[in-house]
Amino acid sequence: MSLFNKFDQLARDRAALLSSGFDPFGAPIEQVFSPTEALINGRRIILAGTNNYLGLSFAPECLSAAHEALDREGTGTTGSRMANGSFSGHRALERELAEFYGCRSCIVFTTGYQANLGMISGLTGPGDVLMIDADCHASIYDGCKLSGAEVIRFRHNDAADLKKRMRRLGERVSSTLIIVEGIYSMLGDRAPLADIVAVKQEIGGYLQIDEAHSLGVLGETGQGLIEEAGVGDQVDFVVGTFSKSLVGIGGFCVSNLPELDLVRYVSRPYVFTASPSPSVIASTRAALKLVRDGRHLRERLWRSARRMYRRLADLGYRLGPEPSPVIAVMVDTREQALAFWYGLFEHGIYVNLVFPPAAPGDKSLVRCSVSAAHTDQQIDHICEAFAALRPMVTSATAS
């Protein structure tokens, strides 16, 4: 038995994938022109799968802040904050994120993935319970594995199922952490957060929400679903990422619980990972201000998202359950999804291709993410491409 025998099927699948053209999971982006356009495989392409929801990746404020930090503090921290200390920018960003959410304190992690990994494994361990929505992100599942706690899944967005499972725990509720997301990254649907908070208030436990795809997108100031639902003071831990609306790389957790500060000392992904580069921290601080004051960007984003969702629904495509900046078309097979992805690329559009198990259920997805930077003409072009390709997946997407 070779170490690599387990990869035999993967190698066959990859060979079949590459026989159709270049790799959709490793598209060669040769030049980026703007938040919505790039040169890919020698062609100028509209970017419709980047999660750049507010289109801030070329914002002058972010670029200037990054350049200044690079010149002032160098390219990297070369170690963890526990070993090498905390730069002033890192501490300032933690204060600003805490203030943005009206919370007592904040921890900044090197990636959004590590924020979930670090918080879940730091807060829970053997003997504790993790009650997670079945459609949670891979980083949440991996944090659960690292923690060693018992993992119980409740049906996606089903507060009644959550309530039933929480009641079964009895006294163990006191050491239970419930985990949901603001906007789910595959189908773009929101958690029924007010209902979930009501379950927690009635039965007990703690609640963590991942606002990765809802930060900057929902709420008057862009806090996410907690702000839209008006339950920020009833959620114990808010996790987020810098890699979507904040157009950097990194992650964070904010909380009003004083114990959050202790998580730094027990979270292996925090203790043993080099802290983010100063330029990333600086650009994120600038982006956070733009998010907070970005009501006009959110309005533009939602206007485009609703228009695109409505047009694709009118074409008869099977979409997620509600309008969202994440718009995913569901098809029955990998082969159909792959052919459709290449068809969109031939029309000058880059989107995300998602196969099971990353996609919910047994469907494959062609996933778009709308940006406030998309022009009306670009949205029209994307919709026209979907209209032209509709016959390709008629049998798979018949209403």
Phi and psi based region of residue 304 (left: phi greater than 0; alpha: psi -120 to 50; beta: remaining): alpha
State the Cα–Cα distance between residues 200 and 178, nearest whole angstrom.
8
Cβ-based neighbour number of residue 274 at 10 Å: 14
In a domain, 52, yes or no: no
Same domain, 94 and 188: yes
Q: Are both 93 and 200 inside the same structural domain?
A: yes
Closest CA to 243 of 112, 370, 352: 112
Task: Report residue 224 CA to chain centroid gap.
Answer: 12
Q: Which residue has the tokens 């099971």?
A: 356
CATH number, position 342: 3.90.1150.10
Q: Which pairing describes strands 352-354 and 251-255: parallel, antiparallel, or unpaired?
A: unpaired
CA distances to 114, 209, 225, 312 from 206, in Å: 20, 10, 17, 39
Q: Are residues 342 and 203 in the same domain?
A: no
Q: How many Cα neighbours within 13 Å face the side chain of 220?
A: 5
Q: Running along the chain, 399 residues long, what does each successive block of 10 average in pLDDT?
A: 87 79 85 98 95 98 98 96 95 98 98 98 98 97 97 98 97 97 97 98 98 98 98 97 98 97 96 97 98 98 98 96 96 90 96 89 92 98 97 59
Domain of residue 263, residue span: 60-292
Based on the fold, state whether residues 144 and 177 are members of the same structural domain: yes
- 3-state SS assignment for residue 31: strand
Looking at residue 122, which CATH number applies to its domain? 3.40.640.10
Of the candidates 133, 112, 340, 349, the one whose C-alpha atom is nearest the C-alpha of residue 239 is 112
Q: Of 244, 267, 292, which residue constitutes the final position of a domain?
A: 292
DSSP state of 183: B
The predicted structure's pLDDT at residue 16: 78
User: Does a structural domain hold residue 3?
Assistant: no
CA distance 214 to 49: 16
User: Based on the structure, what is the number of domains in the chain?
Assistant: 2
- Paired tokens of 234: 């009833």
Give residue 15's pLDDT: 83
Predicted TM-score of the model (pTM): 0.95
In this structure, the answer to whether residues 117 and 25 fall within a common structural domain is no
Q: Is the domain of 179 the same as that of 219?
A: yes
Strand partners, 190: 183
Which two structure tokens, joined as six digits, stand for 325?
């900046």
Dump the DSSP string for 221-259: SS--HHHHHT-GGG-SEEEEESSSTT-SS-EEEEES-TT
**Residue pointed to by tokens 């930077």:** 373
Last residue of a domain, one of 292, 315, 343: 292
The per-residue pLDDT for 20 is 66
286 and 306 share a domain?
A: no
Q: Determine, yes or no, domain membership for 83.
A: yes
* Residue 360 to residue 181: CA distance in whole angstroms: 14
Residues 299 and 281 in one domain: no
Virtual torsion, Cα 259, 263, 264, 266, nearest 10 deg: 140
| Residue 397: predicted pLDDT | 44
pLDDT digits (tens, 9 = 90+) for 349-377: 999 999 988 888 788 999 999 999 999 99
pLDDT in tens, 162-201: 999 999 999 999 999 999 999 999 999 999 999 999 999 9
For residue 387, is it within any domain?
yes
pLDDT score of 361: 78
Instruction: Give the separation between CA 314 and CA 319, rounded to whole angstroms.
Output: 11
Residue 317 lies in a domain: yes
Q: How far is CA 94 from the centre of its chain?
A: 20
Q: Which pLDDT does position 293 carry in this prediction?
A: 97
Backbone angles phi, psi at 241, to 5 degrees: -125, 155
Q: Looking at the domain assignment, is residue 40 inside a domain?
A: yes
Helix (H, G, I), strand (E, B) or coil at 37: strand
What digits encode the pLDDT tens for the residues 374-387? Answer: 999 999 999 999 99
The answer to the question of residue 114 being in a domain is yes
One domain, residues 197 and 213: yes
Please tell me whether residues 271 and 316 are part of one structural domain: no
Q: How far is CA 207 from the centre of its chain?
A: 18
- Are 92 and 30 within one domain? no
Handedness of CA 286, 289, 291, 296 (dihedral sign): negative
Provide the pLDDT for residue 230: 97
Q: Is residue 5 one of the residues assigned to a domain? A: no
User: Which residue among 292, 322, 345 closes a domain?
Assistant: 292
- Regarding whether 227 and 178 lie in a shared domain, the answer is yes
Say what the pLDDT of residue 216 is. 98
